[in-house]
Structure 1
């Protein structure tokens, strides 16, 4: 088995890790992979994965169907607009409707999550961000493809969290036992329109993710940038890979040993850019606490943070943290979500 231990300088400074040993649960090599994950998350907060086993045909189908959806006129796309998703926080938003740091992003997209029927206890209880997805009725197989992809990525998320647990010297079931046995799954499909300006317009501005793990599928256009210790670096598409990064909650759990790294997107091409971020997050109702790690000094310098806030000062459930964040992303829908939380 070949484990990729070196960074491919032709592509990016962000490390590339072959996780096939985690997939096959080969114990000796799993430790090697865990060590690579530790180094990558300590140094970058980001890494590429290959050897993940996610069906390439499923990925291609998802990309093709997404292209079909975004090629439609706005009126048609708005038939599944987010306002119709209600408390579940699902559906389509047009270009400029999503905000990062108060500024409109130059992208459109669709929000998805775990498909829950209306008689599910969390839905019946009115829990925000839980419920049914909205799918375009005029694109055959869109629903089935998205749900199959969510299922595949959820399984991959569990495997990667086991690898992250091992990287911290913990039992591989550490996160599943406490936070992610029933994870909050959020999936997005984003379309960044072609760059028609000579100015630097950001598809999405500098930000960190909220939860524990993001698994990103990119198309072949590129535009993702990661803030490293030496400055902004590109994380371009690598065939057959996903880009993984951690969010604020893992930063909090590890007391700053693993930092949630700022990143941003700028589509400099004359083509549309598709991206597929999959968020594998703690259960909505769990309280996120620091892990007891030996010889760890908390890095809590707010000046390091893009938003000048501390994830280590937060106290409460992941749902509370998440609602506070998303209410700033879509201020027009904010009241619906906050009312449903009361």
Structure 2
């Protein structure tokens, strides 16, 4: 990995708010103005609040409603769509199914989830060429979750254009590789724990695998690591999503943008979280863009196939896939990176 000569992020104490309203403008100069705000936040923090996103409130409220109803069911009903029964990594994720195995990992993350992505080509396209999302029986859930997924795909397209402009690249640099991406939506339920301590983990420290994440949380609990190696709380801000830089954006920008480590801790109240992990098409070769490789900033990032990186990280995280790997049913792609290979954790001890 490239080791920066100084800390990649500032010692921020709060996240910046970026209004992307102008990214929807027909005026190219106005889109550049919005992109400059994105660039500043991505370089200095790697996390930001996003406003001006044009996602309808009704869409968000319907998502929250059907997800809350889904997770209120008994365990047997939820396990009828267990993710290990799917062919394309979709379905219910029970407590203890996954974990980020860092040095702080001592017990299962205190959460359950439901994951969806595209039918096909999916994250599992190496092993399953034709698969469908594993939905629960409830049609109301399917309709509203799919509507939210589609809205996030469109928002990610706007943001991919914005980040291209932010990096001084042609506006379609990323979107020309955005046809059928294996982008994933996670519906996460964190259990209430009034006696939660700072050491209680809702999810361990990690970076996200994809280019960027569009997160909608319903309660506090998220913490991000700043440039002074301090964990900073991220409170809710009305009408804003939370955006963070992922591994693939760090790689393709040659470290211009660095993935920020984050975790969920001390969840005292019931909490839902809806991260959408924005990817490019599975077969996209992700390598540092030529403009960012100079005599002063030689790259030691090795090219990766976008979907292969996501697959490798997922296999190393989910226990059902690790069992499949032991049986020889799946295998890590060539040149797979270990977990925690990007971001601050790749550049400093601890």
TM-score by length of structure 2 reads 0.82
User: By how many angstroms is 1:165 displaced?
Assistant: 0.2
Tell me if the contact between 2:202 and 2:267 (Cα under 8 Å) persists in the aligned partners.
no
User: Per the alignment, do residues 20 and 74 of structure 1 end up closer, same or farther by CA in structure 2, a change over 3 Å counting?
Assistant: same
Q: Secondary structure at the match of 2:50?
A: strand
The whole-number CA distance in structure 1 between the counterparts of 2:62 and 2:316 is: 33
The whole-number CA distance in structure 1 between the counterparts of 2:318 and 2:35 is: 37
Among 184, 187, 190, the alignment partner of 2:188 is 190
User: By how many angstroms is 1:182 displaced?
Assistant: 3.0
Tell me if the contact between 2:189 and 2:273 (Cα under 8 Å) persists in the aligned partners.
yes
Tell me if the contact between 1:286 and 1:317 (Cα under 8 Å) persists in the aligned partners.
yes
Q: Secondary structure at the match of 1:339?
A: coil
Aligned to 1:75: 76
Counting only pairs closer than 5 Å after superposition, residues 224-243 of structure 1 correspond to structure 2 as 224-230=222-228, 231-243=230-242
Tell me if the contact between 1:93 and 1:110 (Cα under 8 Å) persists in the aligned partners.
yes
Q: Per-residue CA shift, 1:320-341, capped at 9, x if unaligned? A: 2222211111133235477356
The whole-number CA distance in structure 2 between the counterparts of 1:45 and 1:123 is: 25
Tell me if the contact between 2:123 and 2:182 (Cα under 8 Å) persists in the aligned partners.
no
Counting only pairs closer than 5 Å after superposition, residues 193-342 of structure 1 correspond to structure 2 as 193-199=191-197, 200-219=199-218, 221-230=219-228, 231-269=230-268, 271-294=269-292, 297-298=296-297, 312-336=300-324, 339-340=329-330
User: Per the alignment, do residues 321 and 128 of structure 1 end up closer, same or farther by CA in structure 2, a change over 3 Å counting?
Assistant: farther
The whole-number CA distance in structure 2 between the counterparts of 1:129 and 1:99 is: 27
Tell me if the contact between 1:185 and 1:280 (Cα under 8 Å) persists in the aligned partners.
yes
Tell me if the contact between 2:204 and 2:263 (Cα under 8 Å) persists in the aligned partners.
yes
Aligned to 2:136: 136
Gaps of 5+ in 2: 1-12, 334-350
The whole-number CA distance in structure 1 between the counterparts of 2:129 and 2:244 is: 22
Root-mean-square deviation over aligned CA pairs:
2.4
Aligned to 1:170: 169
Aligned to 1:89: 89
Q: Per-residue CA shift, 1:289-320, capped at 9, x if unaligned? A: 111225865498xxxxxxxxxxx544431222
The whole-number CA distance in structure 1 between the counterparts of 2:256 and 2:78 is: 42
Counting only pairs closer than 5 Å after superposition, residues 11-30 of structure 1 correspond to structure 2 as 13-30=14-31
User: By how many angstroms is 1:134 displaced?
Assistant: 1.9
More helix per residue: 1
The whole-number CA distance in structure 2 between the counterparts of 1:299 and 1:30 is: 30
Aligned to 2:146: 147
The whole-number CA distance in structure 2 between the counterparts of 1:130 and 1:235 is: 40
Among 111, 114, 121, the alignment partner of 2:118 is 114
Q: Per-residue CA shift, 1:150-185, capped at 9, x if unaligned? A: 1111010000010000001111100112x3233221
Q: Per-residue CA shift, 1:219-243, capped at 9, x if unaligned? A: 1x11111111132212221111111
TM-score by length of structure 1 reads 0.84
User: By how many angstroms is 1:249 displaced?
Assistant: 0.8
Query: How many residues in Structure 1 have an aligned counterpart in Structure 2?
Result: 311
